[in-house]
Structure 1
Amino acid sequence: MAADMKAAQQADDDLQPETGWRARLEQYGRPLMAVFTLVVFAAVGLAIYRLTEEVSYDDVVAAMSTTGIDQIGLAILFTVLSFLSLCLYDWNAMAFIGRKRPFPEVALTAFSAYAVGNAAGFGMLSGGAIRYRSYSRAGLGPDDIGRVIAFVTLSFSLGLAAVTALSLIPMSGEIAPLIGIDPNWLRGIAIVMLAGFALLVIIGERRSLTFAGVTLRLADSLTLSRQFLVTVADLAFSASVVYALLPEQAAISWPAFFAIYSIAIGIGVLSHVPAGIGVFETVIIASLGPTTNVDAVLASLVVYRLIYYVLPLVIAIILVTFTELRHVAKTPALAGVGRTASRISPALLAALAVILGTMLIFSSVTPTPESYLELLQGIVPLSVVEGAHFFSSLLGLLLVIAARGLAQRLDGAWWAATVGSAFALVLALLKAFAIFEAGALGVLLIGLVSSKRLFVRPASLFRQALTTSWLTAIAVICLGACFLLFFVYRDVDYSHALWWDFEFSEEAPRSLRAMLGLTVFASAVAILSLLRPAAPAVTPSSPEDVDKAVAILKRYDVADSNLVRTGDKAVMFSPDGEAFLMYGKQGRSWIAFLDPVGPKKSRDELVWQFVEAARLAGCRAVFYQASPQLLPAIADAGLQAFKLGELATVDLSRFELKGGKWANLRQTASRAERDGLSFEIIPVEGVPAVLEDLRAVSDGWLAQHRTKEKGFSLGAFTDDYMLAQPVIVLRFEGQIVAFANILVTDTKVEASIDLMRFSPEAPKGSMDYLFVSLLTHLRGEGYQHFNLGMAPLSGLSRREVAPVWDRIANTFYEHGERFYNFKGLRAFKSKFHPEWQPRYLAVSGGLSPVIALLDATLLIGGGLKGVVKK
């Protein structure tokens, strides 16, 4: 074992120079993107500040107060129509992949996904995460969910580009002066965009495009056209929301505004700023400012954000709360809606907590209306108002931080959000009689109380490491509060005396103190997250850990979990000690092998525990060969699953060498016996007597194949490992010429093998005879299934709507024989007529699946040299 560990370490050392650039890219990629986002947001904030130099906060509030009821009613109507259009994205995607679900379930999922995506738009609160959690528990596989998300994303992106281009051609003369670009340039850009869209339609008619050996299959022109109409309807209705709220003096036609709105949405998406906040407003103000009052435009955009972003999220929370209270779930026809609501409720509550936390922070740097102050002055003392104002901002920060824990269903986050929102509701009334603010907090509070049963993870909120995306979001919120403070009090001359001025009528000092407290506490949170002690290094398990894991695995049905006996993997136990997970580290990937072993509740908690531990160490969490049963827990933890291959399982109750389909194996077994082969099952206590004979066969096999011992998902020939389980051997002329160690558990539900090795003297067909003999013996012993192992990259989708991952994997499967015998391995397992079960690689999205698979390959091969040299 020591020699094996030394060899693996040497291989890993050899790997470092070749992976250094990738490690640095992974290490600094997200921080650089966070810095880019903050720089963009700061630039946008400065742009808005300069564009509104002639505007005061009172002007904006006055403009908002003049917004007519008819305007608000129209805006709400267009919002409803826009979200109905958005639901058609998912409905059409389901029809396109051939996996239709009841419309109420799809509509609730799509509505919630867009409500959360629009309002929060990052990390675990993205629309894609909502879809993954909901649809995975509704029976859709990861590849189907990936196709839905890809279909929706691509449809919107192409539709937005096409709509913008079509709008620019006739309206370029009207739009060009607004944004300071020559009309001919606008027309040229629009024509190029339309030409690209037309090319995609032509490709869609051909249904495929091959580039660099990779085939890209698109939807047919009818589907593209249908989705284009949906995008047009969505953008038209959402643009009409803003247009209905614009002041009457806005001298711009609806078609021209439609084009500007489309451009603003696109730039907001590209900026990577959460919800595009500030970026969208800058484009609109820069375009409309010269033609109308900026204060009226800014007021319209604030109301637009409330109606189109906050209102749908509140409605989604109300719908989910309604179902959680069992008013809908009791109806059989709508039972699916109730199940969907339970799946997405934590993410919805988390998104609303982010929005309301931001609202509390922003309200702490804005003044209270004078009439409310006069009323408060006669009811509560100044100290109460000052304290309420200050602590409201801190409670807002607490809600934003707790939101991440709510998305992860932490009971500590539930308590923090519940107590924080309750106190914030009281303080909202004490500081400013903020009825709207208190009402929104009341909705969150009711939603949290009604969904208490969903927050069952006994994990500490304060031990969770905030990820880069969450720290970026907090920084954006704090920067936004700073810009809002400077905008509101731009006419107030700064002096040190402001910090110590305590008067009912003095709003600027209160806002300054609240901003200071917010900055201090937000900085403390960021510093604690960034300077958190490094996670302990991943080290192989101790003998005590192995013994404890073996005691657990004996009670369950996963034969391959015996690979924990190799001792080359780290072991993580659930908090209750009833489940374990084995994993290794390669590069910046923590890779768990197989599902956790133990009772379901402990397994699900262990998934969260592993993901959080990997993130705390600054690494990605990866599940290698995850089963379909683990997918719901993986989806809840914010990971995506990509099909890795298929596992072959033989039903031993139906295994017999009678009948035509078994003729080849029957003949092979008979020939082997005629040639003098015989088999023997050696129990654990008999293995020491033949250990040296087995070692000779193993060494000969390694030398013949010019390879070395592997690891992680494969065992290695070591004394401790070989002596731990029974062995089947083949004898030829009295000598052992082949063997395999047998992996079993006490339940006798499943058996498997790991090491299969034979000497050059073994007759042809020895391996077939070994398997036939072993399966026959196991059936007689009462075992139910035999696990033949996984066929990598086999069984992936080949349909025209297959996701990119499947297409790349299929390319390797078809043309990668020089590196790995993909087809030959599946063909060998197929001899035994097994049932094929999918296995998955679970990881975060982006490039992570490819990098994680590369890391897993290196981990199994013992580094780059091990992979190259087999």
Structure 2
Amino acid sequence: MLLMQDAVLWVKKHSKIFKNIFLMAVVVIVARELLSIGKTISMEQLKESFKEIAPYKMGIMALVGILAVLPMTGYDFILNKMLNLDHKLGYIIETSWLVNTINNLAGFGGLVSIGLRSEFYTKDREGKEVLGALSKILLFLEAGLSLFGLISFFMVLTDKASPFVQQYWPWLIGGGLYFPVVYLVTFLKKKGILGGLTPKYRLALTATSFLEWLGVVVTFCVIGWLMGIEVSLWDLVPLFIASSIIGIVSMIPGALGSFDVMMILGLTSLGVPRADVVVWLLFFRLFYYLVPFVIGLVLFFKNIWSQVNDRYSGIPRNLTLEVFHKVEVFLMYFSGIMIVLLATIPQGFTEIQWLKSLNIFHYHLVAQFPNIILGFSLLIMGRGIAAQVKRAYFPTIFLLVVAIVYTIFFSSSIFASVVLGIILIMIIFSRSELYREQLVYSWQWMTVDGLIIGALAILYVTIGVYNSPVFPHHHRGPQLSFMVFPSERLWLFGLLGIFVIAFFMLLFLRYLEGKKQEIGTDLDEARILHILETYGGNITSQLAFLGDKSIYIYNDGADDTVFLQFVTYNNKCVVMGDPSGKESDFKAALEQFINEADVWCYQAIFYECDAKSVTVLHELGYDFIKMGEEAYVDLENFTTSGKKMKGTRAVINKISREGYRFDVLQPPFDAATMASLKEISDSWLKGRKEKGFSMGFFSESYLQRGPIAVVFNQEDEIVSFANLMPTYSKDVGTIDLMRHHSEKAPSGCMDFLFINLFDYLKEAGVRYFDLGMAPLANVGHSRKSFTQERIANLVYEFGSHFYSFQGLREYKEKYASKWVPRYTLYHRDSWIAYVMIAILLVDNQSVTISEKRGKMS
């Protein structure tokens, strides 16, 4: 007794080792079984068989094989009921599928399935309780086969069965007696391993086993029927059941060997050619064993993947979905291009080797019109998927299903159907990657699609011209023989297809665009003032009151704390300057703005930001380039003495002697003052239109919001002015509009105003004066500069007629105490050239006083 107890304790202590040994044994058995099946499968024979049987029949075989495995999940539903477990439906099906498909391969009379189930369920219940329930299930695993044995026994007793099959009656009656014995034993035994089963569980296990073997029999029969082999069911079913019983009794994994030998001998004796029997068995192995097993492996790795994904905070899943999305977009574009090329230069796919090696499609030329439609449709749908628009999901699924069906019926390439099927599966699994609510067709996407679709359309038209009867064909060289098209009529059908698809493309893009939702709101002065007065602002905050930009306000749940101002151009939301408001909420506000813009298919660009914003936005996936430097005057240490300011001193003194004086006017301003300022502004503009965005324009409501520095002449007329911009900070002061009368203002009036303004702000306790940015100051000139900065330099050089960059830099240099770099930040997926063009257009766009919203086209 003591030895027995010690043995039990030793086994419990080393239970993990035994479990690992068991699992390793299962892996070895399954691997050996797969190798054995592999040896019985001739790839050449498989290829020939695939060519002879229509693809849709293959699909039916695979579907029937998969459906045949489903009844086996009943064992696990019953087990969960017996153990009072509450596993989710998905977990039960996945676990059951994996266990049953491995058991089908491994065999050993169901012992492998019992061992695997114990591994899955012992963590939820005590091992003794689980093993007790599993032992009862084990008894009923072959109940269905036994019932079929009895049915088959009565079938061979009739005159409809052949004499050859009738000789198997001992095996059928022997296997058929198993079920009555098991049922009787479990009925009589009320306790123990073999007892304790309620009538409900006995009936459920019997029905599950019967349906399992019904699925096996139906799968084998359907495969033979689809192959066109005619064998009487009165012979086929008894032969199959007898061979299965012999295989199970032999305990050979998967009954491989004994079952196959019996079936080959039996079916050849019934008049079926041996080659057909081998292919029949091959398809049975493939669609009942291997295909479900592969699905089981997928479910297994999905389970493992979920554990790994949870352990690493969802990062693996996100990376995988991102890769899936990129691959599916590539495959859609690749498939679309190849189908169009195949319809355009069919001869090229037989004469040009690299085209031939890339071709996975083998459509017939009679399908010219559908080929053009299908190819271009894949490209158009590919744009919707690439743009990650929700609305593209169902149309793309529908198109891929049509493409797969079309490929099956009009192509001899199984590989093409598989590729399209993979695209379909990847899109279904990565549906969460389609999160955008609308499509805003960006210049970047227009360029890519225009180049691809345009090149294909031009090539197609060129082929038609080349094959036209009026074309001088005697100039054809052998190198252009691939451009020969079968007939002018087919080409015209294809051209009609291009016009049809162009119309469809416009409709589909319009469908993806939806109602064209914009982000941000119009200016709400009360909310903006609340943020600025409560949390502070910066040198660009006051520009919001121009009303030419959209406003995005961030609320922390209790109060409005941050706002951004921006203009939308194409799919670019160009944000002016740094966020304004509560600095601790800047990151949250920027992240929320970027995410909301992204959902509505916009890309945020941040223009003239400081180093703090660069740090925050870089963490949010943004690249940056230096856009220039901002000139700061240290008011405490500024002086006009010294050789550097000699010329400026002379000008200032001259203007003062002539009777000009400086003053700062406080709002509100009367109509006469506004009229004088308007006259000066119009004189300074000389007919030019006002610009907005990063600079102010003449607006009475805007100028009424702060003090205005002015210069009076001898007759007390205002000849020059500059409005002081409230920065809601004592550290920095700045101005916006600085304008002088083209005829009445003296030369050097700007310097006179600046010098006096410096003194005024210094007395007000302001530390620095911001002279504004010198665009492209020290940007992109070095050979070591970033490529993006050199491109930016080229774009701005192209637009230099808008602004004198070098002159502005030189003027501010004489006052600046320090230069502070300013940056433009853009998403990493953006093309820098288009980013710079958008900024250039936005920053130089003419505005009108009545403009209320930051929207340009």
TM-score normalised by structure 2 residue count: 0.43
Bigger relative CO (Cα 8 Å, ≥ 6 apart):
1
TM-score normalised by structure 1 residue count: 0.42
